[in-house]
């Protein structure tokens, strides 16, 4: 009672422009990545000596729930398509299906809040669930990206959320 915030004012760091919202924050081994409406930012440092840099201003997340961590990389849906984000940079993994991704993430589809991602570490796979029709109000289609051979497969499946059973 009557106590100020638990975070001292000295630990406050502005991340990019104030008018652009943070969509997701995910940690990798060496960095904390902040996925904002205007790009990807990276927070690094130790013991209170933190710095934030614009990591990639051309990559903008377009479906916040698509971002997951798999094999020390972030997988998500962006304006560039399906990408991986790691300490070394951003890589597009959906070149083979670029036209499909572009269509499904157009303004005609309800993709922003129905699209979600699931990482499956034991299988080495990233699942991206999306709507497949302009009338869909849930994800009705999934892409499975296999990290072992960089291949994509598809599933017609209707889901609103996903989790991998650790057992």
Residue for token pair 């993994």: 93
pLDDT number for residue 74: 98
* Adjacent-strand bridge partners of 138: none
Q: Which one, of 164, 165, 166, 128, lies nearest residue 146 by Cα?
A: 128
Residue pLDDT, tens place only, 127-152? 999 999 999 999 999 999 999 999 99
pLDDT tier at 4, thresholds 50, 70, 90: low
pLDDT number for residue 93: 96
Alpha helices (runs of H) in 28-159, residue ranges in sequence order: 98-104
Instruction: Characterize the bridge pairing of strands 32-36 and 89-92.
Output: unpaired
pLDDT number for residue 6: 62
CA dist 86 and 16 (Å) reads 19
pLDDT number for residue 13: 84
Displacement of CA 66 from its chain's centroid (Å): 5
Asked if 125 and 76 touch (Cβ cutoff 8 Å), the reply is no
- For residues 78-83, average pLDDT: 96
pLDDT tier at 65, thresholds 50, 70, 90: very high
């Amino acid at each position: 009672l009557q106590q100020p915030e638990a975070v001292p004012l000295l630990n406050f760091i502005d991340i990019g422009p104030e008018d652009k919202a943070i969509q997701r924050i995910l940690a990798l081994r060496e960095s904390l990545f902040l996925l904002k409406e205007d790009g990807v930012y990276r927070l690094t440092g130790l013991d209170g000596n933190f710095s934030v840099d614009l990591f990639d201003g051309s990559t903008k997340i377009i479906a916040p729930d698509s971002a997951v961590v798999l094999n020390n990389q972030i997988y998500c849906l962006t304006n560039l398509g399906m990408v991986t984000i790691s300490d070394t940079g951003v890589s597009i993994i959906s070149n083979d299906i670029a036209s499909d991704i572009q269509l499904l993430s157009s303004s005609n589809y309800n993709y922003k809040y129905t699209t979600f991602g699931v990482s499956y570490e034991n299988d080495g796979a990233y699942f991206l669930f999306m709507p497949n029709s302009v009338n869909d109000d849930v994800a009705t289609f999934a892409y499975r990206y296999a990290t072992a051979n960089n291949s994509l497969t598809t599933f017609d499946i209707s889901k609103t959320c996903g989790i991998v059973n650790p057992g």
